[in-house]
């Protein structure tokens, strides 16, 4: 078995610039009606609009928001050094990007780094034309793998803010009621709160593309995610750590900066442990040779004893 070593990180922490995006859909998930993008300074919204209604379109439809957004993003090198986050993007938002890329294979190539059944990292490269020879590359990351909680809970915990939400159902004398987001008419009664919430969500997403508050919903989601990522990065940095692509890789980078003072061996496999989802086994060098910890640099798991 070849032996490698884990080394301390002593160089200056390189702060990676980042931006965020979010995609708005209805109950028809094959189509999207709006994309929001925020880089910490400027918020942009992409949509095809007729009258007061945003038009849901498939990703490859040149009229739609996905095509508008990616055409704009890939038209310049402004964000090639950024990490571009979407929360839970590996299970949702990135799929729209991949579908658009598959329809533009003559212009772009991409590499998806899988994590179980989702996408951890999506790297997109253009196919340069002369005289430019070097391709430009954009990196998309799933912020859920770095901050493993719903955006609502992250916002409350890290920055004391919440998503923009519809008023919850209310219990009146004959059951649970809620207000229709478009007409303002009361809907009900429902026997219990869960049934009322389900019905409210169905109506909410079915009509979201014509809801006047859709702009506030999307913009707040983008700004909230950016603030959470910024605050999280500041917290890790203030302790002397470093942000990686995922929570485990951030923990490893921070461990190497804050606590590791000498080289320690890394084995690619170790008898008795499940190595399919791990990247290395660190033998505990603190005078307890029987113990070992498995650190997964990529999967969203905690070290286990």
The answer on 67 and 94 residing in a single domain is: yes
The answer on 123 and 108 residing in a single domain is: yes
Task: State phi, psi for 287 to the nearest 5 degrees.
Answer: 65, 20
Give the model confidence (pLDDT) of 173-198 as tens digits.
789 999 998 888 999 999 899 999 99
* pLDDT tops 50 at residue 273: no
The answer on 101 and 3 residing in a single domain is: no
Single out the residue of 248, 245, 297, 300 nearest to residue 18, CA to CA.
245
How confident is the prediction for the chain on average, in pLDDT?
86
Q: Residue 114 contacts by C-beta under 8 Å, 6 or more apart in sequence?
A: 120
* pLDDT tops 70 at residue 270: no
Contact 34, 54 (CB under 8 A): yes
Q: Average pLDDT of 38-53?
A: 96
The answer on 3 and 111 residing in a single domain is: no
Share of the chain above pLDDT 90, in %: 66
- What residues are paired with 281 via a beta bridge? 267, 294
The answer on 253 and 129 residing in a single domain is: no
The answer on 154 and 46 residing in a single domain is: yes
Copy the structure tokens of residue 209.
């593309």
The answer on 285 and 197 residing in a single domain is: no
* pLDDT tops 90 at residue 5: no
The answer on 112 and 37 residing in a single domain is: yes
pLDDT of residue 228: 97
Residue 236 lies in a domain: no
Contact 8, 285 (CB under 8 A): no
Q: How far apart are CA 174 and CA 185, in angstroms?
A: 17
Share of the chain above pLDDT 70, in %: 86
pLDDT of residue 7: 86
pLDDT of residue 174: 83
Residue 221 lies in a domain: yes
Residue 237 lies in a domain: no
Residue 240 lies in a domain: no
Residue 104 lies in a domain: yes
The answer on 138 and 2 residing in a single domain is: no
The answer on 196 and 74 residing in a single domain is: no
pTM above 0.85, yes or no: no
Q: In terms of residue numbers, what domain contains 180?
A: 171-208
Residue 98 lies in a domain: yes
The answer on 128 and 264 residing in a single domain is: no
Going by pLDDT thresholds of 50, 70 and 90, the confidence category of residue 53 is very high
* pLDDT tops 50 at residue 230: yes
* pLDDT tops 50 at residue 2: no
* pLDDT tops 90 at residue 43: yes
Neighbour count for residue 177 (Cβ, 10 Å): 16
pLDDT of residue 285: 39
Q: Residue 285 contacts by C-beta under 8 Å, 6 or more apart in sequence?
A: 264
- What residues are paired with 121 via a beta bridge? 113, 141
SS3 130: coil
Residue 187 lies in a domain: yes
The answer on 223 and 77 residing in a single domain is: yes
Residue 204 lies in a domain: yes
Give the model confidence (pLDDT) of 114-172 as tens digits.
988 899 999 999 998 888 889 999 999 999 999 999 999 999 999 999 998 888 888 88
Q: How far apart are CA 222 and CA 32, in angstroms?
A: 16
* Full 3-state SS string of 158-186: HHCCCCCCCCCCEEECCEEEEECCCCCCE
Q: CATH number of the domain at 116, please.
A: 3.30.420.10
How many separate domains does the chain show?
3
Q: How far apart are CA 298 and CA 296, in angstroms?
A: 6
């Amino acid at each position: 078995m070849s032996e490698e070593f884990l080394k301390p990180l002593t160089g200056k922490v390189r702060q990676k610039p980042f931006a965020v995006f979010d995609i708005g859909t209805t109950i028809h998930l094959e189509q999207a009606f709006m994309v929001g993008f925020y880089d910490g300074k400027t918020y942009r919204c992409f949509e095809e609009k007729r009258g007061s209604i945003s038009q849901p379109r498939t990703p490859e439809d040149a009229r739609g928001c996905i095509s508008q957004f990616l055409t704009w993003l890939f038209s310049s090198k402004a964000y090639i050094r950024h990490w571009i986050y979407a929360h839970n993007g590996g299970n949702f938002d990135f799929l729209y990007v991949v579908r658009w890329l598959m329809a533009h294979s003559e212009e772009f190539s991409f590499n998806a780094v899988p994590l179980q059944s989702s996408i951890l990292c999506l790297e997109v490269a253009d196919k340069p034309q002369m005289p430019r020879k070097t391709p430009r590359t954009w990196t998309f990351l799933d912020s859920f793998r770095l901050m493993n909680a719903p955006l609502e809970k992250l916002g409350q915990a890290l920055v004391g803010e919440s998503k923009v939400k519809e008023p919850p159902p209310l219990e009146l004398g004959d059951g649970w009621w809620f207000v229709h987001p478009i007409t303002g008419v009361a809907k009900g009664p429902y026997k219990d709160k869960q049934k009322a919430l389900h019905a409210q969500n169905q109506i909410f997403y079915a009509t979201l593309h014509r809801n006047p508050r859709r702009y506030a919903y999307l913009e707040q989601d983008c700004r909230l995610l950016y603030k959470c990522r910024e605050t999280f990065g500041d917290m890790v940095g203030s302790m002397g750590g470093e942000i990686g692509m995922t929570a485990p890789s951030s923990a490893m980078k921070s461990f190497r900066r804050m606590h590791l003072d000498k080289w320690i061996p890394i084995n690619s496999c170790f008898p008795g442990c499940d190595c399919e989802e791990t990247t290395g086994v660190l033998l505990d060098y603190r005078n307890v040779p029987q113990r070992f910890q498995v650190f997964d640099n990529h999967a969203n798991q905690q070290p286990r004893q």
